[in-house]
Copies of this chain bind each other. A is one copy, B any other.
Amino acid sequence: MTKTDPRKAPLALPLNQIIAGDCIEEMNRLPEASIDLIFADPPYNLQLRGELHRPDNSRVDAVDDAWDQFGSFGHYDSFTHDWLAAARRILKPNGAIWVIGSYHNVFRLGAELQNQGYWILNDVVWRKSNPMPNFRGKRLTNAHETLIWASKSEGAKYTFNYEALKALNEGVQMRSDWVLPICTGGERLKDEAGDKAHPTQKPEALLHRIILGTTNPGDVVLDPFFGTGTTGAVAKMLGRDYIGIEREEAYREAASKRLEKVRKFDREALEITGSKRAEPRVPFGQLVERGMLRPGEELYSVGNRFKAKVRADGTLVGNDVKGSIHQVGAHLEGAPSCNGWTYWHFKRDGKMVPIDLLRQQIRAEMH
């Protein structure tokens, strides 16, 4: 039996650091089921005609046999398989992944995600407001990139801050097409020569939406193709921990400098619009126990079409039907379900008031 190679030993989570190395090897050294979210912007230029390189930078011999005329896709698929498998191992059961790509590679990415058991939640289109035109007029302006959001497996309880994204979209449900400008101007990192530090730096706005919408403060966000660290920068701003993996020293250095300057937003600013689902459950019976409603008192349906009587045990009776506020409401409406809290009203000073108001009073006391 050989000794364990210390270089292969699993690491404790190296939070808020940039790991130097190949992302597959480095992910394999991280503890399993430890990451909340992965954002990955993998290279997509591996299948260009001519030279082909493996992830470890060694050159692949050109394949010109007829039986393997699409061998370049084979190599790309194998690379994609390996890093997605490594990523899946380190994801928590309720973790999720975002990948981004263009038509050159995104179909391979999406198919491999599905093959490995990831469960696609949405594909999202980043619609660029200022794309590069198609100079030769031979095709359509390539004005978008595609992101795929997937949970680790079907049925997993992924994080989705629905109300926060709805608020971000001025009160309308967030859609799967996001209009955002490409990364230019002061946000674009430059090297000493004044050239762009990274060829495909993503805008912070894109990561802001992703991290705000699909993680909670304190979550761990890993980016296996860290580049100049947009994922880390936004994670830090938003009070999440990040882990970056990057092979190229120049990118790591640029990212490192960038991250030092980033400040976390203050706590109040990080609070997001909350969800009703997260509110504590209040049994209807409590309203009766506390005397907010009297046994025998009558409740009236939305639209005043039905009446029901409150009973001492917190059930209702109306039209010979007995049951919870939800059951009686559903039965009277002939509906598959009913939210009794908003359906039933009581009278106060001649006005109809929804019983949900009483629940809100109880919840306010609980804080």
Residue A304 is within 8 A (CB to CB) of chain B in the complex: no
Contacts of A146 in B (CB 8 A): 123, 146
Q: B311 and A269: CB pair below 8 A? A: yes
Q: B179 and A160: CB pair below 8 A? A: no
Q: B164 and A313: CB pair below 8 A? A: yes
Contacts of A140 in B (CB 8 A): 122, 124, 149, 165, 173-176
Q: B57 and A176: CB pair below 8 A? A: no
Q: Among residues 128 to 156 in chain A, which have CB atoms less than 8 Å away from a CB atom of chain B?
A: 129-131, 133-134, 137-144, 146, 148-149
Contacts of A350 in B (CB 8 A): none
Interface 9-residue window, one of A5-13, A25-33, A280-288:
A280-288
* 0/1 string, A300-320, CB within 8 A of B gives 1: 000000000111111101000
The distance from the CB of A367 to the nearest CB of chain B, in whole angstroms, is 9
Copies in the complex: 2
Contacts of A127 in B (CB 8 A): 125, 127, 177
Known: A269-B311, A272-B313, A285-B169. A141 touches B103 (CB 8 A): no
Q: B160 and A139: CB pair below 8 A? A: yes
Q: B268 and A309: CB pair below 8 A? A: yes
Residue A2 is within 8 A (CB to CB) of chain B in the complex: no
Known: A107-B109, A144-B177, A177-B177. A286 touches B205 (CB 8 A): yes
Q: Name which residue of chain B comes closest to A115, CB basis.
A: B70
Contacts of A312 in B (CB 8 A): 164, 208, 212, 238, 265, 269-270, 272
Contacts of A139 in B (CB 8 A): 121-122, 160
Known: A204-B291, A295-B270, A312-B272. A285 touches B175 (CB 8 A): no
Q: A290 and B170: CB pair below 8 A? A: no
Known: A168-B313, A176-B142, A284-B170. A123 touches B111 (CB 8 A): no
The distance from the CB of A44 to the nearest CB of chain B, in whole angstroms, is 12
The 9 A-B pairs with the shortest beta carbon distances in the complex, nearest first, are A107-B110, A168-B285, A269-B295, A170-B283, A143-B175, A269-B296, A103-B123, A205-B289, A265-B295
13 contacts between A and B (CB under 8 A): A70-B115, A103-B123, A103-B148, A104-B120, A107-B113, A125-B144, A127-B177, A138-B162, A140-B165, A187-B291, A269-B295, A269-B296, A271-B311
